[in-house]
Each structure stands twice: as structure tokens, then as C-alpha cells.
Amino acid sequence: MQLTLNSPLDMHLHLRDGEMLKSVAPLSAHSFAAAIVMPNLVPPVTTIEAVNAYKARILEAIGEERFEPLMTLFFKESYDFAYLEKAKPYISAIKLYPAGITTNSEGGVGTIDSAALQMTLTAMSDLGIPLLIHGESNGFVMDREKEFIPVYEELATQFPELTIVMEHITTKESVAALERHENLYATITLHHLLITLDEVAGGMLQPHLFCKPIAKRPEDREALLSVALAAHPKVMFGSDSAPHPQHAKEACGCAAGVFTAPIALPALAQLFESHGKLDNLQPFVSDNAQIIYGYTPPEKTVVLEKKPFRVPQKYGDVVPMYAGEELAWRIASVR
């Protein structure tokens, strides 16, 4: 059995910098046509110059692969219309982090309300620049995403023309919020379709499955699966593949992030096939995002085949999800 995917897209990806960039970027560039690249470097990517320099480093790291890095700025309340008008040709979106909520987000936004962010959000809305949000409060870890939903709703109501993407949603409440506002969209990761908190902490603690937002309850995973498997037009695949060196994961004080970039397409094929929904993988991993972002990716044909794929124990110094295990699908060819 085979499945052909046209120009798969990863709409939420961490490529890092330096040696880590060199080791992980080619893995995404091999099987995806393009990806939205997150700006949470140290220091964060907050200027047009930094965006362009980072893009050049990514292109150098991927060599000959046909892959378009779609760049993002790290949200600042001080971006005004004139600056964003200059930035627009170089970026696909702006990513907003609540301060301190996850890896390298210390310089994020303290108070998120539409009045405080008025100038920047009005400019983004007028210029048609999507707003991507890591939507978590500072509350109890299992409630953080749910508690953030009123913020999404206020922003969606105050800026009805602004495209807002709820990044890496993990709860049934976020799935429900999609239906209430025309301008709210979402990315969904591979790992949140596969695991709940049980897989992370129900037995021996699994540091390689620890991420932000933390995986939630079975009913939450069911809600995510229902919209992903149906390729609901408001959801798109965003891996949130977030590599950390092995010593930073297998440590007292484990870094948050699941590394899935090189296994994402085979694992998605396995998941969609097991639910009899293989036909919906194309819209979930590409078509929906093209429509939501108004984006035409480079042409890339990825053929997957149902043959066993033994996931490597490590890619460089990073341990992937399913390390050492066998997946039922593998990448047969990329053209």
C-alpha cells in the first residue's frame, strides 16, 4: 500500500540554531516542502535583520533540499504599522508567547489583552499578518490551556479580520472554541494525537514525551483526533517538533519538547490508516494550511509505503519519539 502526499507542510517547527540547526534542519527539509519556523531562539528573533540572518543560516543548513522556511517574528508590543509593513515581505506570521510560559519565552508578553496590544494587533490585522499564540495561563498545569481560551475569544472578537492560530491545541475546550469564531484556527501536533498524560507520567516518567502544553486527558485526545482525522478545514498539522540534546531531556529538570520531525509523516500515515482516514491526511498536512495562510508551497511529492520503519535511537544528539520502535509506514521516495 502506498500514499502520495503533495507538498507536506509543518506549520509549527523549532529548528534552533548553531550545531543543532545543522543537525535537525535537513531532516525536516527532506520530507516537508515548507515549515513555519518558530522564533524562540536566545535572543528571540525580534527584528527584520534577525529574521533574514536566521533564514540564511537555515538555508545553508539544508543544502540542496527543496524546502521553504516560513519565518516568524517574536511578538513585541512595540511593533508598529510602519515596521510591520517593512517586515511583511520577509515573514509569514508573528508568534506571541506569554512571558516565561515555555522554552526561551522570558521576553514574551506580560499582560495579554486587546487594549495593551492594540497598536501591534491593529497593524497585523490591517496588513494581513497571522497571529500565532502559545495559549497557556500561569495556572495549574492541566488547566493552563483551558484558562487561556477567554483571551483567544477576546482577541478574536476585538480583531475580527485578524487570523489567529491557537498553536498546538491539547484540549476539547480549544476544539470547541474553533467553532465560535470565524477567525480562530489551530495547529495540532502528532504527539498530542497519540498520547495522554498517562503515557508521560502514568508509569515510569518519560522525559522524551514531556512538552508544553502537557498532554491531557483521553477525552481531550479524542476531540483532537475527531477534527484531525476529519481534516476539519480550521485545523492543520504543526509538529511542534522541539529538539533538545539528550542530556537536557534525561536530566533533573527536563527540558520541554518532543522531537518528531523525522518520524512525523510515517507516524501520521500509520495513525490515519488505523482509523480508515488516509484520504484526509493530504488536507491535514498541506491543503488546509495553504488555504488558511493563502500560501502556495514549492512542489514536492512524498511517497509513503506500508513497510516497517525502525526509528533510530538518536538523530545526532537528539532522541526522537518512538526511538528504537517500529512504525508500519516509511518514506519510500521524495521528488
| Chain residues in the site for ligand DOR (CB under 6 A) | 14, 40, 102-103, 134, 211-212, 242, 256-257
Nearest to 155, CA basis, from 199, 113, 190, 125: 113
Of the pair 101, 281, the CB lying nearest ligand DOR is at 101
Of the pair 26, 257, the CB lying nearest Zn ion is at 257
| DSSP code string of 284-318 | IIIIHHHHHHT--PPP-EEEEESS-EE--S-BTTB
In the complex, minimum distance from the CB of residue 144 to ligand DOR, in angstroms, rounded to a whole number: 11
Residue 240 annotated as catalytic: yes
Within residues 240-259, the interface with Zn ion by CB under 5 A covers: 240
Peptide bond into 43 cis (omega under 30): yes
In the complex, minimum distance from the CB of residue 106 to Zn ion, in angstroms, rounded to a whole number: 15
257 binds, among ligand DOR, Zn ion, none (CB under 5 to 8 A by kind): ligand DOR
Say if strands 326-327 and 309-310 run parallel, antiparallel, or are unpaired.
Answer: antiparallel
In the complex, minimum distance from the CB of residue 15 to Zn ion, in angstroms, rounded to a whole number: 11
Of the pair 249, 300, the CB lying nearest ligand DOR is at 249
187 binds, among ligand DOR, Zn ion, none (CB under 5 to 8 A by kind): none
39 binds, among Zn ion, ligand DOR, none (CB under 5 to 8 A by kind): none
Of the pair 104, 120, the CB lying nearest ligand DOR is at 104
- Alpha-helix runs per DSSP H in the chain: 18-31, 48-62, 81-87, 118-127, 144-158, 172-178, 191-194, 197, 218-229, 246-249, 264-274, 281-282, 288-293
Alpha-carbon span 299 to 284, nearest angstrom? 17
Separation in Å, CA 16 to CA 38, 41, 165, 268, 302? 8, 6, 21, 24, 25
Amino acid in position 251: A
211 binds, among ligand DOR, Zn ion, none (CB under 5 to 8 A by kind): ligand DOR
Alpha-carbon span 171 to 268, nearest angstrom? 19
Of the pair 54, 272, the CB lying nearest ligand DOR is at 54
In the complex, minimum distance from the CB of residue 128 to ligand DOR, in angstroms, rounded to a whole number: 25
Q: Total number of residues binding Zn ion (CB under 5 A)?
A: 1
Q: In the bound complex, which residue of the shown chain has the CB atom lying closest to Zn ion?
A: 240
Alpha-carbon span 263 to 312, nearest angstrom? 10
| Residue 141 host element (H or E) | none
The radius of gyration of the chain from alpha carbons, rounded to an integer in Å, stands at 18
In the complex, minimum distance from the CB of residue 12 to Zn ion, in angstroms, rounded to a whole number: 6
The binding track of 182-211 with respect to Zn ion, each residue x by CB under 5 A or -, is ------------------------------
Please name the residue that has the C-alpha cell 514536492: 300
170 binds, among Zn ion, ligand DOR, none (CB under 5 to 8 A by kind): none
Of the pair 130, 257, the CB lying nearest ligand DOR is at 257
Q: Does 65 bind Zn ion (CB under 5 A)?
A: no
Residues facing residue 109 across a β-bridge: 98
| HEC-encoded secondary structure of 237-252 | ECCCECCCCHHHHCCC
| Residue 113 host element (H or E) | none
Pick the catalytic residue from 17, 220, 240, 279.
240
231 binds, among ligand DOR, Zn ion, none (CB under 5 to 8 A by kind): none
In the complex, minimum distance from the CB of residue 208 to Zn ion, in angstroms, rounded to a whole number: 16
Binding site for Zn ion (CB under 5 A): 240
Question: Which residues carry out catalysis?
Answer: 240
